[in-house]
Structure 1
Amino acid sequence: MSATSVLINQINTATTTVVSSILSINFILGSVSLIFNIIIFTRPKLRQQPCSIYFLTSSYLNLFVIYIVLPVRIVSSSFNVDLANYNLIVCKIEFFLFFAVRATACWAIVFACVDRYFHSSSHAKFRRLSSLKIAKITVIIGSIIVSISYSHMLVYYIIKSAANQYGNVIPLCTDQNGNYATFIAFWHMMLYSLGPTISMFLFGCLTLYNLRTRRQIVPLGNETNRNIRRTDNQLLKMLAGQIFVIVIARLPSSFGRIYISLTQNIPKDTLRIAQENLALKTLSAVAYLTHSTTFYLYTLSGTLFRKEFWKLIRKICHFKNNNRRTKTTRQTQQLEEDNNEN
């Protein structure tokens, strides 16, 4: 076996190990993260906030990513088994759903940024746009629009023969060659990473401007106003942390897809294919961190979120202690009754 063949095998082994490890870590982190997110955002302190509707929507969609998308990707990466490569209907539906759900989860956070902008406005007509009713309507309309934006994948995704990282020709569910491959790479980057990032940054800056303007116009006043502003600031910090993670985790993956689409007609040897496969799959696996780490991100960046989390933990511990005391009391009473009978 030549040195090149040995190197190719080592790269392919590293690809399987690295990608499977990253995806498995994401699965473990997300399984804990999203359950806590849903519980905390439905607590009385937060569930009346329109912003929480968007966070909840994103968490529910991320559950789909963690429990459906990731297992499929782990099996595909570890065992090279993916039904989408052998059934055209599964191919089209799988990639459409996986792309659309991930993008919708991201745009739900964008809607949260827009809500914070409206909520912080000094104009009453804009503040009225921050409401639970509008939040629910926005989630529905936004989900429909994102789904329509990816609907072309149901037409243009096909199963074709392609060389894998080992140089073997295998069936592969992927986009059509040519202009569509380049289009879907740029389109997904705009809808999944660059577009949401720019939108979040823009509305985050506008929200900061609104908050500073209102501080100059309206004094802090009573304790209620201070609490409201404190809550707004905490939610804004959580959004800022989300933007940071999206930038460092998603953009490299999007640029990698664009590179692959632009070089698809260039002849490549097996070594280059293996190297590009390692880079692209690793970047794609890292991108899932934005779906699995939201709880830890919110806990680090939001004091309000941490307080609600610790209240939940104390409530659970208190419930367990009460059950334990109740059980002990019943056992004691039963022993006393038995002794009296004797």
Structure 2
Amino acid sequence: MTLSNATIAEINALNYANEIFYLFWAFGLIGLGTIGHSLSIYVFTRPILRSNPCACYFLSATIMGLFVAYVNTPLRLLQYIYNYDVFKYSTASCKILTWILLCARALASWFIVLASIDRLGPSVIMLIFGSLTIRHVQHSVRRVNASHITTKSESASAAPIQEKLQRQKTADRQLIRMMIAQCAYFAVLTTPISGSYIYISLTINTVLDDLQFAKVNLFTNIAGLLSTTGACTSFFVFTLSSKLFRHELKHLFTWRWH
């Protein structure tokens, strides 16, 4: 079937838009991922968050996001823009590289899932029993109350426990807020690629003309890059959603300034 000049021009425009979008977006993800994940690693290794299991999951997701920014994105950039396909060397290398890239991108999301699971059980139980312990100590102090000095001393001994649990509750609330924001962010960015996979599976036996193929290719590449964006830009979600994250981040710039 002969294509009209208008159709050929539209196909060329779609292919050119695909290349330009992929080129600038990919380099943007590499730059933002480098800066953002480096700062996130600094924050999640701070003393106040280092021992928190939820923060450890966030740290693991950040490391995987850095891998996505430095490995997944450049390889796809070489493949789609510079026509240098490392996946074509052999069937084994293609399968291994594809498995590694897909796992890296998926792990960045699954660590957030593990953080969500971690926030449904142990921390809540720990806070409940910790609060009950403090209540029991306070009740014992009021019941004994042999003298004013004794009461004051025992109340003071319970104060550090209260202060520690309060700090932990504050950190947990901030981490839960970060987790919810990150889950919503991942959900929004991965929805287009899911729709793309569904469309491809439904039209697998349909023969597409050149114009339709160019449109599908553009949408698939945009959806694929959007799904990668979540793993590369999580730092900005953490910064916007958590006061604790911003507070810990300020220490780095304050220390550097002094």
Give the TM-score normalised by structure 2.
0.82
The answer to whether the 8 A contact 1:118-1:126 is kept is no
* Map of 1:139 onto structure 2: none
Spell out the pairing of 1:130-169 with structure 2 (5 A cutoff).
Answer: none
Task: Tell me, in whole angstroms, the C-alpha distance in 2 between the residues paired with 1:296 and 1:110.
Answer: 19
Task: Tell me, in whole angstroms, the C-alpha distance in 2 between the residues paired with 1:124 and 1:316.
Answer: 36
Spell out the pairing of 1:133-282 with structure 2 (5 A cutoff).
Answer: 222-282=162-222
| Pair 1:112-2:115 in alignment | yes
What SS class does the counterpart of residue 264 from structure 1 fall into?
coil
The answer to whether the 8 A contact 2:127-2:165 is kept is no
Query: Which residue of 59, 63, 85 maps to 1:60?
Result: 63
Query: Which residue of 40, 43, 58 maps to 1:40?
Result: 43
* Map of 1:91 onto structure 2: 94
Query: Which residue of 244, 247, 257 maps to 1:307?
Result: 247
Structure 1 pair 313/232, CA: closer, same or farther in 2 (3 Å)? Answer: same
* Map of 2:8 onto structure 1: 5
Task: Tell me, in whole angstroms, the C-alpha distance in 2 between the residues paired with 1:69 and 1:125.
Answer: 43
Per-residue CA distance 1:281-329 (angstroms, 9 max, x = gap): 01111111111111111111111111110012112222xxxxxxxxxxx
Task: Tell me, in whole angstroms, the C-alpha distance in 2 between the residues paired with 1:102 and 1:229.
Answer: 31
The answer to whether the 8 A contact 2:14-2:218 is kept is yes
Task: Tell me, in whole angstroms, the C-alpha distance in 1 between the residues paired with 2:128 and 2:97.
Answer: 42
| Pair 1:25-2:28 in alignment | yes
Task: Tell me, in whole angstroms, the C-alpha distance in 2 between the residues paired with 1:121 and 1:80.
Answer: 52
Aligned residues: 225
* Map of 1:287 onto structure 2: 227
User: Structure 1: where are the runs of 5+ without partners?
Assistant: 128-220, 319-342
The answer to whether the 8 A contact 2:112-2:183 is kept is no
Greater fraction helix: 2
1:107 to partner: Cα distance: 0.8
Per-residue CA distance 1:14-43 (angstroms, 9 max, x = gap): 111112222221111101011111111111
Greater fraction strand: 1
Task: Tell me, in whole angstroms, the C-alpha distance in 1 between the residues paired with 2:103 and 2:214.
Answer: 28
Structure 1 pair 102/312, CA: closer, same or farther in 2 (3 Å)? Answer: same
Task: Tell me, in whole angstroms, the C-alpha distance in 2 between the residues paired with 1:123 and 1:26.
Answer: 39
Which amino acid is 2:251 matched to?
A: K
Task: Tell me, in whole angstroms, the C-alpha distance in 2 between the residues paired with 1:21 and 1:104.
Answer: 25
Which amino acid is 1:121 matched to?
A: V
* Map of 1:74 onto structure 2: 77
1:122 to partner: Cα distance: 3.6
* Map of 2:145 onto structure 1: none
Which amino acid is 2:97 matched to?
A: E
Task: Tell me, in whole angstroms, the C-alpha distance in 1 between the residues paired with 2:63 and 2:250.
Answer: 22
Which amino acid is 1:118 matched to?
A: G
Cα-Cα RMSD: 2.0
1:123 to partner: Cα distance: 6.8
Structure with bigger RCO (C-alpha 8 Å, 6+ apart): 2
Which amino acid is 1:23 matched to?
A: A
Task: Tell me, in whole angstroms, the C-alpha distance in 2 between the residues paired with 1:118 and 1:40.
Answer: 24
Task: Tell me, in whole angstroms, the C-alpha distance in 2 between the residues paired with 1:222 and 1:46.
Answer: 18
Moved more, 267-276 or 225-234: 225-234
Identical residues among aligned pairs (%): 33
Give the TM-score normalised by structure 1.
0.62
The answer to whether the 8 A contact 1:27-1:66 is kept is yes
The answer to whether the 8 A contact 1:34-1:62 is kept is yes
